[in-house]
A and B are shown apart, each in its own frame.
Chain A
Amino acid sequence: MAVTDEPPSQEMRGLYPFLYPDQDHLRSVLAEAQRSTEAKAAEIVRLRRHIADLDGDRLIACAQEMATRFASGGRLFTFGNGGSSTDAQEVATAFLHPAHPGRPLPALALTSDVAVVTALSNDVGFDVVFARQLAALARPGDIALGLSTSGGSANVVHAFREAARLGMLTVGLAGDRGGRLAELGLLDHLFVVPSPSVHRIQEAQTTLYHVLRELTQHALGASLPA
């Protein structure tokens, strides 16, 4: 099916800016689906490049500090809600069991133990599910990495407060304008993906934590992936 020649920039002003009343046939919907795919693929490529310019030096600084912590026996604790909980899991797995050549590094996702998460939620409240685990498990030389697309998740904010109190290295991944995580002013490193789209924010955060892992391994002396 032919794709129209309209520039993709026109397609990015909203989620479904292309549902015009005269386009009610399957053929049109297919064409619009294709065009939306092309626009969004171009958008995330641009957003990644923008982040490389925006955050490159800060990513290096963060990775070097993470490497220092790991080299001194520090461990990584990761947390987030919903889709971000799966990112927290991905980060923990990527550090602990790297697909690339590199040292396995101790990492734990605080979302993976359903018994702990539901017990804390039921007995105390959902806001403390990560903070209380950090209070029990973490030491001053450890690293806390939390993800929130809005930057406003209360349990992520509570976790960072606890992490800062413990003297952990704190690394936050947020989106849009950073929300409460940006207002807190207590994070050692905060990377904010400048996009209004939750989906693009998550995609760019995936790149951010992959690059952080790669640079951390590099700082620890591992070779780069081929």
Chain B
Amino acid sequence: MSVATTMQLALRDAFHRRDAPGHALARDSTRIAAACRDMAGRFRRGGKLIVFGNGGAGADAAHIAVEFLHPVIVGKRALPALALSNDAATVTAIGVREGLAETFAHQLASWAGPHDIALGVSRDGRCPNVLRALRTARDLGLLTVALLGGTGPDPAPDGGAHADADHLLLARTADPDVVKEIHVTTYHLLWELTHLFLDHPDGPADDPAEDSAENAAEDTTRDTRAHPRPAPPPEPPCGDTCVTCSDQATPVTVVRLLHGGLALADTGTGTEEISVALVDATVGDTVLVHAGEAIAVVTKGAHHHGRH
């Protein structure tokens, strides 16, 4: 066969290989919806998203974090998210001293709060550090989501991902390139549908993992002692623009404080729910809001009620 013919065959084969796994994603719609419902529940309680993966999946972790933190859709709230694989200095330091398998679990134990979400990405479902971090996350009471790939009913026979993930989302192909492509669509949906549940006024406050974590109080206490986790307050940004994207921020007045770091704010044209998790705002304060997140207190108001 001529080179031109084999290139045509290779092209046709490459696109054909993507069809079946692409269609298979639609069959996971129930699992994806359930994961988003539970993720929205965690964000509503003030939880953050912690993402991790190796190699190209580490790039996916960064993509997921920026997707939640700085949405492409204007007006969607910035949600707290962090990619552990971005920190090359810490990852390589842990890797060289304690071994690569310890990398994400170590970082997670220092960063995690009980309302958080751990999202691990592994294209073959076998990455030891991803599986270990998911187990650590579950022990600490986090909601755990695994984005895996492979074929057959049990893609990771030696891994504990099945036992350690509340939500297991699987790209059904052995080709790691195609796994990535299915994962990209999956995490775009995770972002979009999490906001759908957040926007919905009657959304759930609880999820199964949350319940089990609260019931297992002794375990949580033990883990807290084993991994003291002081929560450093985020540095408040200042100025009237967003520090991450330079977009203009809008001043609004806090009308009422709600649970989970949220508040009702008077925008001048109506009332909107905003997040005040990053600032110390009380009723009457004027705060600067960007993408639904208050980023600074401009003026303290007349009322100084505590949060309730």
Residues of A within 8 A of B (CB): 1, 3, 15-16, 19, 24-26, 29-30, 32-38, 40-42, 44-45, 48-49, 52, 56, 59-60, 63-64, 82-83, 85-87, 89-90, 93-94, 97, 99-100, 149, 198-199, 202-203, 206-207, 210-211, 213-215, 218-219, 224-225
Contacts and interface: CB of A to CB of B under 8 A. Distances in A.
B14 A29 contact: no
Contact of A210 (B8, B177, B200, B201): B177
Given A36-B189, A206-B184, A26 B73 contact: no
Contacts of A42: 23, 26
B63 interface: yes
Tell me the interface secondary structure of chain A in the complex. Answer: helix
Nearest to A63: B7
A153 to B, nearest CB: 13
Interface string B19-48: 100110110111011101100000000000
5 contacts: A19-B196, A41-B22, A90-B60, A99-B123, A215-B10
Contact of A206 (B72, B181, B197, B201): B181
B29 A3 contact: yes
A59 B18 CA distance: 16
A125 to B, nearest CB: 13
A219 B7 contact: yes
Contact of A37 (B10, B12, B29, B184): B29
Contacts of B12: 52
A83 to B, nearest CB: 5
Contacts, number: 168
B3 A26 contact: no
B6 A218 contact: yes
B181 A83 contact: no
Interface string B224-248: 0000000000000000000000000
B185 A44 contact: yes
Contacts of A16: 196, 199
A25 B202 contact: yes
B180 interface: yes
Contacts of B15: 48-49, 52, 56, 207, 211
A52 B17 CA distance: 12
Given A56-B11, A202-B188, A218-B6, A33 B62 contact: no
A94 B4 CA distance: 24
Which bracket fits the contact residues of B?
Answer: 35 or more
B202 A24 contact: yes
A206 B11 CA distance: 15
A48 B21 CA distance: 12
B22 A100 contact: no
A33 B22 contact: no
B13 A224 contact: yes
B196 A33 contact: yes
Given A90-B56, A206-B180, A37 B197 contact: no
A30 B33 contact: yes
Given A42-B26, A59-B11, A93-B59, A37 B189 contact: yes
A29 B197 contact: yes
Interface in B156-209: 175-178, 180-181, 184-185, 188-189, 192-193, 196-197, 199-204
B66 interface: yes
Nearest to B175: A225
B106 interface: no
